[in-house]
Chains A and B, each alone.
Chain A
Amino acid sequence: MMGYENQGHEEAHLYATPEEMESLVLNDNDDSSHHQSQPNHHHPLSSSLPFAAQIPTDDDHLLASPSSLTHSQSQSQNPIPNHSSSSSSFKFILEPPSYADAVFRSFDGDHINETNGHDSSSGDLSSSSPPSTVEYISISVSDPQKEQDLANSLVSGGNTYVTYLITTRTNLPDFNGSEFSVRRRFKDVVTLSDRLSESYRGFFIPIRPDKNVVESQVMQKQEFVEQRRVALEKYLRRLAAHPVIRRSDELRLFLEVDGRLPLVRNTDVASRMLDGAVKLPRQLFGESVGAVDVSEVVQPAKGGRDLLRLFKELKQSVTNDWGGAKPPVVEEDKEFLEKKEKLQDFEQQISNVSQQAESLVKAQQDIGETMGQLGLAFVKLTKFETEEAVYETQRVRAADMKSVATAAVKASRLYRELTAQTVKHLDKLHEYLGAMLAVNQAFADRSSALLTVQTLLSELPSLHLRIEKLEAASSKIFGGDRSRIRKIDELKETIRATEDAKSCAIREYERIKENNKNELERLDKERHDDFLNMLKGFVVNQAGYAEKMASVWDMVAEETNGYAKDGS
């Protein structure tokens, strides 16, 4: 028999700055009371509960910045420069370009370049004096070092691993300090990722980098380490860009606490529920938590060690799939189902566009390369004709050829730059493909929570039935049947516990549904902004570089105008 202790507190674990907390808690209390007295509802859990969505201050960031769901960078941007800079960069194209510049700059001024390992972008932007209320957090990963695992080195030579220096710069109040570093190994990142997915079910949590077991053996060590460093940096930045995750204890501990990573397996989710604020697991303080078993309810069965529960839920899911009877609770949220389908379609289309974008980039690259080779061939020809010139006509031809050669080489360089810029823009597509993984995970959280609820719900009737039978049997015996009565009491206790667990599971399910909903809204908003910016950036670049190329060739056409034939 599973026993669940009733914690009875509402989960108010949402986008919350401390100020918002009070109102959120109040709302949830309203919700819970509302929820418990819903006699006219057909199913207690049919539709998502009314939730007064609080708009946290973070949303202003989302509106202003081009950061995506999985794209994290320093957030110290003014909302305003975003729009004006894009139009000013537009104006730039219309002015005659001066390509005396050795460095061709990118055409979109509002695009902040993510340079690996550097927070230079944050430095640039903070110089434009952001208002002090703008929060930022910027993370960089650097300096891989080989270290020895002394504790476990049974084998001589020991177990070596690589640690990376994680440097954080932030003005978020949760952190102790504004700049600090810690050393972490990849295993720590895996732990962080696991803890986050336990605590933040229903959220679109960025997917951590692969373990790459094969590659780590096969690749050159340096190359692999660098590849991993880049991936880690991207991942941590994405985490920091997520408005809820960036406030999480897990991330904070990971970034701040030097030495061994203090994230343990049995996080006390129950204590999180206490005052609605995210708190540290009580284990950290050494308190024994007793039979913290309700927390188990809010974790999916698969992750846990409870085989009996696993078995029950498996049985339930089979019943759901094959049984004629409808399960007591179904995913009736049509809106959600529609959204889910739409997202699947979206994922498909994004993948398709991503592929074609790659081909386009390759084609641009190829044409640039060939143009360059053509230019070089003409350069050689020019040199040859000039050196060997016997006749004036040869010198004239050499001069003509030289201007074509120069133009071709210039055009080739322009293509190369255009390609690099295009890759950066269209990379957003790849990021969203990655984000879809997080979405699928969040939806899976929801499904498994629903399955837990269904399992518990289906248990109750049978328990009641057994009690009835026992009571009927016991009533026939005069004075009652001691053993039967005891059994009945046990069963009644089980029912109570199951009811508690059921309530807990339902609450968890609702919570996850809420998270899903809010995350979907956030995804929609961010996606809208991100993609529009991506499109703009792409278009601006294409137009800008095409203009530059046009003027390069215009000059040559002008110079060779004398050769134009009539009618050509």
Chain B
Amino acid sequence: MQQRSFSGVSQSPRSPSKQPPYLAVSVTDPAKMGNGVQAYISYKVITKTNLPEYQGLEKIVIRRYSDFVWLRDRLFEKYKGIFIPPLPEKSTVEKFRFTAEFIEMRRQALDIFVNRIASHHELQQSEDLRIFLQADEQTMERARSQETGIFKKKPADLMQIFKDVQSRVSDVVLGKEKPVEESNPDYEKLKRYVFELEDHLAEAQKHAYRLVKRHRELGQSLSDFGRAVKLLGACEGEALGKAFSELGTKSEMLSFKLPKEAQHLLMNFEEPLKDYVRAVHSVKGTIAERAAAFRQHCELAETIKMKEIDLNKLRLTRSERTADAEHEYEELKADGEEARRRFETIVRLMNEEMVRFQEEKTLDMGHAFHEFAKGQSRLANAIADAWRSLLPKLEACSSS
């Protein structure tokens, strides 16, 4: 059960100054609910806080995966420019949906997800987070089902946006400039970086996953080998037979350590890498939003210019439509202002987010590397100790 408490929340006017404000969340106790095709996993979400916006010091609610998805989508809509923490993928393979390892991995990922939101200075103030953390199950379900209309972006749409962004980036890279794109060299560099980073990370993650499998395979072959050697020992008998038996037993003993290490590797190294890849996807989502905002801003600016020309024409002719046109023009200008503001907010937020993102990833990766190294060292030491302990026995056999 991971609990990441954060320090230094932005000022809340009504918070008592005695205790520093805190918001600590954890996702625990996965439980299988329902039967058959309808079955799903529910999680306990425990909130401990002294923030006034929250009801009481501790609240426990029951949530399922789609509730988390709801939260992520709401935040994505409302906080454009911020890299929303990524969610673990929906499991496509039925077989693994309810294995202990998968459930634990998902729980861990969900816990990290909520905690990242709770420790983000902007996101932590979100109304949707409060609903998520506090609302009773019925309210939550209602909110969740409302999503299928207005706000919920279908994954297909998101994919299309990604593709657009990707093709636009490559067009720019290839020199085929399309009109409605920012011509900001630093930003271009950033976009290229993000796309290339994803490729590199995906490859590393692929090999990390294979490495997990290899550990399991090695464990299996050590076990089979040990068994075969023990049989040979039984056949041989006497000192040599004993030597074989000892070796076989040792091999079998070691074979148990490997799947354990494989699991550790999966949870503490491969999963963080996957998480990194997901985070990059989230960044790409923001890039798409920024592109959309920019386009809107530009299009409105164009429309406003056209409208101005029309308006001036009308003003000259002193048409009775002038008043309406003026009115429309003013409205358009307000929209244009709004669009520009929205776009500039995204730009500002993205710059801040980039810094935070890099910091976060350095920490996450550092921890993952540390766990990886520790795990490998632990395994190697166990192997060395086990084999070394056999040597005196072998020496004894040869002297007899």
In chain A, positions 259-296 with a C-beta closer than 8 Å to chain B are: none
Alpha-carbon distance between A353 and B211 when the two chains are bound, in angstroms: 26
Q: Residue A562 at the B interface, CB < 8 A?
A: yes
Task: Determine if A353 and B229 form an interchain contact, defined as CB atoms under 8 angstroms apart.
Answer: yes
Q: Mark B179-202, 1 if CB is under 8 A from A, else 0.
A: 000000000011001001100110
Given A367-B218, A539-B387, A564 and B207 contact (CB-CB distance below 8 Å): no
Cβ-defined contact, A353 with B232, below 8 A:
yes
B39 interfacial contact with A, CB 8 Å: no
Contact indicator A543/B367 (Cβ below 8 Å): no
B384 interface residue per 8 A CB criterion: yes
User: When chains A and B are docked, how far (Å) is the Cα of A540 from the Cα of B359?
Assistant: 44
Provided the pairs A374-B204, A401-B365 are in contact, do residues A553 and B229 lie with their beta carbons within 8 angstroms? no
Task: Please determine whether A349 and B358 come into contact, CB atoms closer than 8 angstroms.
Answer: no
- Collect the chain A residues with CB atoms within 8 Å of residue B208's CB: 374
CA distance A377 to B221 in the complex (A): 27
Residues of B within 8 A of A380 (CB): 200, 203
Chain A residue at smallest Cβ distance from B371 = A568
B158 at the interface (CB under 8 A from A): no
B391 on the interface (CB 8 Å rule)?
yes
Q: Of all chain A residues, which has the CB nearest B217?
A: A363
- Tell whether A381 is near chain B: CB-to-CB under 8 Å: yes
Chain B neighbourhood of A374, CB < 8 A: 204, 207-208, 210-211
Whole-angstrom distance between the Cβ of A392 and the nearest chain B Cβ: 9
Q: Give a binary string over A515-542; 1 marks a CB under 8 Å from any B CB, 0 the rest.
A: 0000000000001110110011011101
A384 contacts B196, C-beta separation under 8 Å: yes
Chain A residues positioned under 8 Å from B200 (CB to CB): 377, 380-381, 384
A360 adjacent to chain B (CB < 8 Å): yes
Is B65 positioned at the interface, with any CB of A under 8 Å from its CB? no
Interface residue count for A (Cβ, 8 Å)?
70
User: Would you call B373 an interface residue if the criterion is a C-beta within 8 Å of the partner chain's C-beta atoms?
Assistant: yes
Q: How far is the CA of A346 from the CA of B231 in the complex (A)?
A: 10
B147 to chain A, nearest CB (A): 35
A360→B380 contact, CB < 8 A: no
Cα(A367)–Cα(B231), bound, Å:
27
Nearest B residue to A560, CB-CB? B370
Q: Is A14 an interface residue (CB 8 A)?
A: no
Which A residues are CB-close (under 8 A) to B203?
377, 380
Q: Which residue of A lies closest to B186 (CB)?
A: A390
Q: Tell me the bound Cα distance from A364 to B222 in angstroms.
A: 10
Q: Are A377 and B204 in contact (CB under 8 A)?
A: yes
Chain A neighbourhood of B235, CB < 8 A: 342, 345-346, 349
Chain B residues within 8 Å of chain A by Cβ, number = 65
B6 at the binding interface (Cβ < 8 Å): no
A363 to chain B, nearest CB (A): 4
**A536-567 toward B: CB 8 Å interface, digit per residue (1/0)?**
10111011101101100110110011111100
CA distance A506 to B247 in the complex (A): 45
For A532, what are the chain B residues with a Cβ–Cβ distance below 8 Å?
240, 243, 394, 397-398
What is the predominant secondary structure among interface residues of chain A facing chain B? helix
- When distances are taken between beta carbons in the complex, the residues of chain A under 8 Å from B217 are 363, 366-367
B244 / chain A contacts, CB cutoff of 8 Å: 531, 535
Convert A321-352 into 0s and 1s, putting 1 for each residue whose CB lies closer than 8 angstroms to a CB of B: 00000000000000000000010011001101
Chain B residues with CB under 8 A of A556: 369-370, 372-373
Structural contact, A367 and B211, CB atoms closer than 8 A: yes
A126 to B43, CA, bound (A): 73
- Give the chain B neighbours of A546 by CB distance below 8 A: 380-381, 383-384, 387
Say whether A388 faces chain B, with CB atoms less than 8 Å apart: yes
Instruction: Tell whether A404 is near chain B: CB-to-CB under 8 Å.
Output: yes
B341 to chain A, nearest CB (A): 26
Measured between beta carbons, the chain A residues less than 8 angstroms from B397 are: 532
A559 to chain B, nearest CB (A): 8
Chain B nearest Cβ from A426, distance in angstroms: 10
Q: Does A357 contact B (CB under 8 A)?
A: yes
CB of A355 within 8 A of CB of B240, answer no
B59 at the binding interface (Cβ < 8 Å): no
- The chain B residue sitting closest to A342, CB to CB, is B235
Cβ of A181 under 8 Å from chain B: no
Fill in one digit per residue for B382-400: 1 if any A CB lies within 8 Å of its CB, else 0. 0110011011001101100
Q: A356-B221, A378-B204, A547-B384 are in contact. Are A563 and B367 (CB under 8 A)?
A: yes
Q: Which residue of B lies closest to A414 (CB)?
A: B380
Give 5 closest A-B pairs by Cβ, nearest first: A563-B366, A550-B380, A546-B384, A556-B373, A543-B387
What is the interface of chain B, defined by CB distance below 8 A to chain A? 189-190, 193, 196-197, 200-201, 203-204, 206-208, 210-211, 214-215, 217-218, 220-222, 224-225, 227-229, 231-232, 235-236, 239-240, 243-244, 247, 354-355, 358-359, 361-363, 365-367, 369-374, 376-377, 380-381, 383-384, 387-388, 390-391, 394-395, 397-398
Contacts A377-B207, A535-B247, A546-B383 known; 6 new A-B pairs at CB < 8 A: A349-B231, A353-B232, A370-B207, A397-B366, A403-B369, A568-B371
* A–B complex contacts, Cβ < 8 Å, 14 sampled: A363-B220, A366-B217, A370-B207, A378-B204, A390-B190, A394-B362, A400-B365, A529-B398, A532-B243, A532-B398, A553-B377, A554-B377, A557-B374, A563-B370
